């Protein structure tokens, strides 16, 4: 082949080379973007959530997963917590787990301070009360409202956390001890998605506290609170009726001032024996210097509870109030292991002119004494001595301390067990005590209804232990931390940047 036949190379076209390199780079970028989108899409559809907390604080229990997996209707959750609230982040993270488990859960966070207009709308809709903390933040009596259709359920902060106040004695503040929000929230979901709406019946005709009375001896505030928790309330007559009216999930006798007839007591006893639920809230009935029976003592004794004819007096100064005598005091010794007492522990229940209620000997039913007084109290049986104003002193016939003020009974062996609660006081439900946030009177009253209607058994999830980790740093340690973070680290980054810039120039 002659040199003339050798093809001459085509001259390089810089513009075509740049275009080719540009297209190649664009294809690579698009490929990487496509892979990025695909990975994100797949990770959004198929992902694994991990709880890295030491106590598995945000891991949902098997019970909660079963409840969420069985939902057939949407559940709306409205959270009324300020972003500065100590549990705001924990609640938000927990609800992200709920939403990931079921698309039926819809959550709205409404900050009472930042989203004022929407909060006012929800406040009027659900009857939420609010107040102000010293730092200016809004605090509400209801932290969360769970609703489905026409039904709703209220969850308070106390329902979600256990707080340890023991540090206050040493000058410290309260510490978060347990996080029980999952149990409270899952119970609320079950309550608004179940079909039943329990009817709570209150007896009348014997001078009882009335749910229709807005006065001093009224229980209209209790009826309002029950309606907020999806109960129905009804006042019923028992005189002249052979049995309790049908449809009553539970019957409450609250503070009668006149005795019940034998026929009425017999119908209430048969009601419990047949699986019914009954609460006897019985103040002492006093006529001159003697106690008058209520006619219901026989029911309680039949099921293993003795109602004493006495008035409990307390001499422990720490439990007395600034108003009232020795008959007005705070009871704080709660039973352990019982659903009706467990939420309160050492919280104060204020009672006034109460009688003792204790487990009788030889009973066959399961009886638990719920709350007791201190060892400095007793049940005074001598009314004449009290009325004479003599120096308080325990007599030989008085009830021994500590005096039990309430008892809970389970009757029968079948699935439909009867339940009975006997409390030696009804005035603990008075409006002033019921609405006092420093007392557990309201929670105990509503807890009685929940236990009777067996709503406490819908979901029982143990609270998560919260590990409070403290780091105590000296002034020197704080100085070096500040020096490294504010000066050394930025200067080191600046030095590396200058070195890289100089090397690139060379």
Walk along the chain (506 residues) and give the pLDDT tens digit of each residue.
555 565 666 666 667 777 777 788 788 888 888 888 888 877 766 656 555 565 555 678 777 888 898 899 999 999 999 888 888 888 998 899 899 899 999 999 999 989 999 999 998 888 888 888 777 777 788 889 999 988 888 888 888 887 665 554 555 555 666 778 888 888 889 888 877 789 999 999 999 999 999 987 799 999 988 887 778 999 999 999 999 999 999 999 999 999 999 999 999 999 999 999 999 999 999 998 899 999 999 999 999 999 999 999 999 999 999 888 899 999 999 999 898 998 887 889 999 999 999 999 877 789 999 999 999 999 999 988 888 877 788 888 999 999 999 999 999 876 678 999 999 999 999 999 998 878 889 889 988 998 998 876 455 555 555 554 556 778 888 888 888 888 888 888 888 888 888 887 77
Cα–Cα distance measured from residue 444 to residue 451, given in angstroms and rounded to the nearest whole number: 10
pLDDT of residue 137: 76
Compute the distance between CA of residue 300 and CA of residue 367 in angstroms, rounded to an integer. 11
* Contact present, 285 and 294 (Cβ < 8 Å): yes
Provide the angle, in degrees to the nearest 10, between the axes of the packed helices 181-193 and 88-101: 50
pLDDT of residue 169: 52
Please tell me the predicted confidence (pLDDT) of residue 320: 93
- Between strands 75-79 and 105-109, the pairing is parallel
pLDDT of residue 84: 84
* pLDDT at residue number 460: 52
Distance CA 66, CA 25 (A): 51
Q: d(Cα 142, Cα 130) in Å, to the nearest integer?
A: 9
- Rounded Cα distance between 130 and 138, Å, is 7
The angle, 0 to 180 degrees and rounded to 10, between the axes of the packed helices 62-69 and 181-193 is 30
Query: In 5-57, which ranges are continuous DSSP H helix?
Result: 14-45
> What's the CA gap between 409 and 367, in Å, rounded?
5
DSSP 485: I
Find tokens 């005091």 and name the residue: 329
Going along the chain from its start, the domains and CATH numbers come out as: 62-188 (3.40.30.10), 195-454 (3.40.50.880)
* 127 CB-near residues (< 8 Å, 6+ apart): 228
Contact 81, 93 (CB under 8 A): no
- Residue 453 zone, left/alpha/beta (φ > 0; ψ -120 to 50; rest): alpha
Q: What is the pLDDT of residue 456?
A: 61
pLDDT of residue 9: 61
Query: What is the per-residue pLDDT for 356?
Result: 97
Tell me the CB-side half-sphere exposure of residue 214, using CA atoms within 13 A: 1
Task: Identify the pLDDT of residue 49.
Answer: 59
User: What is the distance between the alpha carbons of residues 407 and 205, in angstroms, rounded to a whole number?
Assistant: 25
């Amino acid at each position: 082949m002659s040199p003339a036949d050798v093809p001459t190379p085509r001259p390089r076209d810089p513009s075509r080379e740049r275009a080719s390199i540009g297209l190649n780079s664009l294809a690579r970028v698009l490929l990487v973007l496509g892979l990025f989108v695909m990975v994100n899409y797949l990770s959004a559809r198929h992902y694994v959530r991990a709880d890295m907390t030491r106590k598995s604080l945000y891991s949902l229990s098997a019970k909660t997963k079963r409840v969420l997996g069985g939902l057939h209707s949407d559940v709306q959750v409205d959270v009324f917590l300020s972003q500065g609230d100590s549990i705001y982040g924990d609640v938000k993270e927990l609800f992200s787990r709920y939403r990931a488990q079921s698309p039926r859960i819809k959550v709205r966070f409404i900050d009472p301070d930042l989203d004022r207009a929407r909060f006012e709308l929800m406040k009027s809709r659900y009857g939420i009360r609010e107040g102000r903390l010293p730092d200016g933040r809004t605090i509400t009596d209801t932290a969360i409202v769970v609703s489905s259709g026409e039904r709703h359920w209220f969850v308070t902060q106390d329902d979600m956390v256990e707080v340890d106040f023991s540090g206050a004695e040493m000058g410290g503040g309260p510490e978060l001890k347990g996080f029980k929000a999952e149990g409270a929230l899952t119970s609320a979901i079950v309550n608004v998605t179940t079909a039943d709406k329990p009817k709570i019946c209150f007896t009348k005709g014997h001078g009882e506290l009335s749910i229709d009375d807005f006065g001093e001896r009224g229980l209209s505030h209790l009826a309002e609170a029950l309606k907020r928790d999806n109960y129905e309330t009804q006042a019923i007559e028992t005189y002249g009726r052979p049995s309790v009216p049908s449809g009553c999930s539970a019957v409450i006798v609250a503070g009668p001032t006149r005795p019940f007839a034998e026929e009425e007591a017999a119908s209430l006893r048969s009601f419990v024996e047949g699986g019914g639920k009954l609460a006897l809230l019985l103040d002492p009935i006093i006529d001159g210097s003697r106690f008058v029976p209520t006619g219901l003592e026989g029911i309680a004794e039949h099921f293993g509870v003795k109602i004493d004819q006495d008035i409990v007096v307390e001499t422990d100064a720490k439990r007395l109030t600034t108003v009232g005598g020795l008959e007005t005091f705070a009871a704080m010794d709660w039973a352990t292991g019982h659903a009706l007492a467990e939420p309160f522990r050492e919280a104060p229940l204020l009672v006034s002119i109460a009688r003792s209620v204790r487990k009788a000997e030889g009973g066959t039913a399961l009886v638990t004494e719920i709350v007791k007084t201190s060892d400095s109290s007793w049940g005074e049986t001598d009314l004449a001595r009290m009325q004479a104003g003599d120096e308080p002193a325990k007599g030989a016939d008085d009830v021994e301390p500590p005096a039990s003020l309430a008892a809970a009974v389970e009757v029968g062996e079948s699935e439909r067990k009867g339940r009975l609660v006997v409390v030696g006081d009804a005035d603990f439900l008075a409006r002033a005590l019921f609405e006092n946030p420093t007392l557990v009177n309201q929670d105990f009253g509503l807890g009685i209804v929940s236990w009777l209607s067996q709503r406490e058994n819908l979901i029982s999830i143990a609270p998560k232990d919260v590990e409070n980790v403290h780091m105590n740093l000296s002034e020197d340690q704080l100085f070096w931390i500040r020096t490294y973070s504010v000066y050394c680290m930025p200067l080191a980054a600046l030095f590396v940047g200058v070195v890289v810039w100089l090397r690139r120039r060379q």
